A and B are shown apart, each in its own frame.
Chain A
Amino acid sequence: MDTKSRIVLAVFLVSLGISVGTLYWRYVDQENYPVLTEDTPLEDPIWVHFDLSSFAPSTWLP
């Protein structure tokens, strides 16, 4: 493997580590996610919550 490929691999692994770490922090540490029940159903489970605000950390940061 050449040096350039190693750099790409390293960047990928670091990004993956940060991303997984953030996931763990959000779901397991902060328990930050909405729960749906029969009383609070979503009409379209896939698209309903998709808007630009999803990108904002405020949607899931405590």
Chain B
Amino acid sequence: MNPAQELIANDVLRCEWATAPYYLFSDNVFSPLIYYSHLFPTIAGLLLAFIVWRQGQKLLVNKLFIFLSLSFAAWCLMDLVLWAEEDPDIIMFVWSALIYINPMLYLASAYLLYAFVTNRDVPFYTKIGAFALIAPVLVLAPTSLNLVAFDYTNCDREAIEGPLWTYNYILEILVVLWISVFTLRSVLREHLRSRRIQIGMLGVGLIAFLAAFSWGNIVGSISEDWALAQYGLFGMPILLAVVIYLIVRFQTFRIQVIGTSALVTALWLLLFSILFLQTLESARPIIVATLILFALIGIFLVRSVRREIESRRRVELLASDLEKANDRLKELDQMKSEFLSVATHQLRAPLTAMRGYASLIAEGSYGAVNEGEKEPLFRIMESGRNMANSIEDYLNVSRIEQGRMKFEFAEFNLTQLADTVVKELTSVAERRNLKLTLAPSEALSVKGDIGKIKQVMTNYIDNAIKYTPHGSITVRVWKEGNAARFAVEDTGTGIAADELPKLFSKFTRARDANKVNTTGTGLGLYVAKILIEGHKGKTWAESEGIGKGSRFIFEIPA
């Protein structure tokens, strides 16, 4: 039995109070206005918090707005418990717990405005300062400085607030003043008109909300007429109307315009709640307030829907144009690939004839050739080979882009293939005074497309010949775990570390490649990479740096 029950039991008190199911509903709430003033802002605040949460909970301002709405909803529900509940234990507990929510509501409002205006979080020392302001409340809330006593005088069921509440009210007034000054200063400093309106409206909305709230509580606390404080709760619908306007007009909080239609639900609830009012007399001011609010929000909503329909129509037109342009681009790309394929085939045939006849002439098939004539013939053959390689690269890229690259897998000896390629290119290397050798390697059987692998090997060695002014080129084949590796090491120009990862991209060449070799297309290594990836393998290059040679490697499953 609590102290109040003891007094009732001893017939000291003769108060009769109704019990409150779910802590909220009882005849102790003498006026429907109290339900109206508490439940409507609670539902509207929760609804808006939900919409903001659904559409952008990652933004700091949105998080703060959600926190503010939830805190206010909690405050309203707890305050309603005080009206409905008859148990002094519950009343004392809930009333004393309200002391936590009040300063948090105010500081969160200031935090929201700061984050909205500056687009950044508050400095760390400010957070420490805010914590220091709330700390006395946290520490002293359970003491008699919070609630002095439970007052049963005239069966009032009220708590007597202690000096901690005075501290709280002073804090509230200071925060409202800070918000006023900060809003004014920010509006004056802002150059962009629309932004100025947004800051001004949010600031005024917050000031109206907090001032109404403070006024209600302070007047209630001093006069002990808590029915007056109910009007303070209508500050939330004012803030709500401002926020709705900001959302609709400026897309503040990054909420889609269509989301505001959900707010109409709040208005339906508002109208629905009027049904619970017992007399027309008490309903009249509420109906007038509702009508004004409904008219304002209705205008904004209709405008926003119209704007949204127009912008959607524009987007649809743009999307249609974009689709047509995309189809045309695809068509052009296909034509380009086909043209490239046909053109390169047409080029390859006469080139093969030129190289063949030059080779036959150099070998003396058409009569003796003197030493002076041999050099130009070799140059014709080498230029022809380079051109044939470039054409092959273009053809391969064309096949890759058209998805026509096909692989014919069969078992073959990788070491033997490397030996063949080395022998084919030895004469080319020798003409440049380079020593091309295959390091002693064991026979290594792999399954793959021999033509494609030969092409990659040729590309690697060919590159090494082109980019090695003097020295040697060594080819190695070996087994590494379950993979077969092929590497070409040279003593050439080397590659800078930042260039290495880009070498195998399309149309990419090392920075100073043109100084050494002007015939490269930047496609050879890209094609090599695609061909090796077609074997479920990988390609990479290593180099100690510029002037320190390089090593090109590929690996395929053995």
Say if A and B assemble together. Answer: yes
Q: Show the binding face of A for B, using Cβ within 8 Å.
A: 1-2, 4-5, 8, 11-12, 15-16, 19-20, 22-24, 26-28, 31, 33-39, 41-42, 45-50, 54-55, 59-60
Taking the nearest CB of chain A, how far is it from the CB of B170, in angstroms? 13
Which of A1, A15, A27 counts the most chain B CB atoms within 10 A?
A: A27
Inter-chain contacts of B13 with A (CB < 8 A): 37
- Chain B contact patch, size range: 35 or more
A–B Cβ pairs within 8 angstroms, 29 of them: A2-B124, A5-B127, A8-B124, A8-B127, A8-B131, A16-B100, A19-B139, A19-B141, A22-B142, A23-B93, A23-B96, A23-B141, A26-B142, A33-B3, A35-B88, A35-B151, A36-B151, A37-B152, A37-B153, A41-B153, A45-B151, A45-B160, A46-B160, A46-B163, A49-B148, A50-B162, A50-B163, A55-B143, A59-B144
B7 at the interface (CB under 8 A from A): yes
B89 at the interface (CB under 8 A from A): yes
Q: Can you list the 8 inter-chain pairs with the closest CB atoms, starting with the nearest? A: A31-B2, A27-B93, A22-B142, A34-B149, A27-B92, A35-B3, A45-B160, A54-B144
Assess A19 versus B100: contact at CB under 8 Å? Given A45-B148, A49-B162, A54-B145: yes
Query: Which residues 106-135 of B sit at the A interface, judged by CB distance below 8 A?
Result: 121, 124, 127-128, 131, 134-135
B127 and chain A: residue at smallest CB distance: A8
A24 and chain B: residue at smallest CB distance: B93
A42 to B147, CA, bound (A): 13
Cβ A23 vs Cβ B142 within 8 A: yes
Taking the nearest CB of chain A, how far is it from the CB of B104, in angstroms? 9
A34 to B163, CA, bound (A): 16
Against A, the Cβ 8 Å flags (1 = close, 0 = not) of B17-50 are: 0000000000000000000000000000000000
Cβ A28 vs Cβ B90 within 8 A: yes
Query: Which residues 1-15 of B sit at the A interface, judged by CB distance below 8 A?
Result: 2-4, 7, 12-13
Contact of A33 among B134, B141, B149, B161 (CB under 8 A): B149
Inter-chain contacts of B152 with A (CB < 8 A): 35-37
B265 at the interface (CB under 8 A from A): no
B160 and chain A: residue at smallest CB distance: A45
Query: Which residues 163-185 of B sit at the A interface, judged by CB distance below 8 A?
Result: 163, 166
Inter-chain contacts of B351 with A (CB < 8 A): none
Cβ B144 vs Cβ A60 within 8 A: yes
Taking the nearest CB of chain A, how far is it from the CB of B318, in angstroms? 39
B357 at the interface (CB under 8 A from A): no
A11 and chain B: residue at smallest CB distance: B131
A50 to B370, CA, bound (A): 121
Contact of A37 among B7, B121, B139 (CB under 8 A): B7
Inter-chain contacts of B3 with A (CB < 8 A): 31, 33-35
Contact of A12 among B134, B142, B161 (CB under 8 A): B134
Inter-chain contacts of A28 with B (CB < 8 A): 89-90, 93
Taking the nearest CB of chain A, how far is it from the CB of B138, in angstroms? 5
B378 at the interface (CB under 8 A from A): no
Inter-chain contacts of A35 with B (CB < 8 A): 3-4, 7, 88, 149-152
B149 and chain A: residue at smallest CB distance: A34
Inter-chain contacts of B139 with A (CB < 8 A): 15, 19
A4 to B123, CA, bound (A): 11
Assess A33 versus B138: contact at CB under 8 Å? Given A24-B93, A59-B144: no
B60 and chain A: residue at smallest CB distance: A1
Taking the nearest CB of chain A, how far is it from the CB of B264, in angstroms? 35
A8 to B240, CA, bound (A): 30
B154 at the interface (CB under 8 A from A): yes
B558 at the interface (CB under 8 A from A): no
B446 at the interface (CB under 8 A from A): no
B63 and chain A: residue at smallest CB distance: A1
Against A, the Cβ 8 Å flags (1 = close, 0 = not) of B365-407 are: 0000000000000000000000000000000000000000000
A59 to B509, CA, bound (A): 84
B135 and chain A: residue at smallest CB distance: A15
Taking the nearest CB of chain B, how far is it from the CB of A2, in angstroms? 8
Inter-chain contacts of A39 with B (CB < 8 A): 12
A39 to B12, CA, bound (A): 9
B97 at the interface (CB under 8 A from A): yes
A46 to B433, CA, bound (A): 104
Assess A23 versus B145: contact at CB under 8 Å? Given A36-B150, A37-B12: no
Taking the nearest CB of chain A, how far is it from the CB of B347, in angstroms? 62
Inter-chain contacts of B96 with A (CB < 8 A): 23, 27
Inter-chain contacts of B162 with A (CB < 8 A): 46, 49-50, 54
Cβ A19 vs Cβ B142 within 8 A: yes
Taking the nearest CB of chain B, how far is it from the CB of A37, in angstroms? 5
Cβ B142 vs Cβ A60 within 8 A: yes
Inter-chain contacts of B89 with A (CB < 8 A): 27-28, 31
Given contacts A28-B93, A35-B4, A37-B152, 15 further A-B contacts (CB under 8 A): A5-B124, A8-B127, A15-B138, A19-B141, A23-B93, A26-B142, A33-B92, A35-B149, A36-B153, A38-B153, A41-B153, A42-B148, A42-B160, A45-B151, A54-B145
A56 to B66, CA, bound (A): 38
Cβ A20 vs Cβ B100 within 8 A: yes
A55 and chain B: residue at smallest CB distance: B143
Inter-chain contacts of B149 with A (CB < 8 A): 33-36, 42, 49
A36 to B156, CA, bound (A): 10
B92 and chain A: residue at smallest CB distance: A27
Cβ B143 vs Cβ A34 within 8 A: no
Inter-chain contacts of A33 with B (CB < 8 A): 3, 88, 92, 147, 149-150
Taking the nearest CB of chain A, how far is it from the CB of B103, in angstroms? 11
Taking the nearest CB of chain A, how far is it from the CB of B154, in angstroms? 7
Taking the nearest CB of chain A, how far is it from the CB of B75, in angstroms? 15
A18 to B520, CA, bound (A): 74
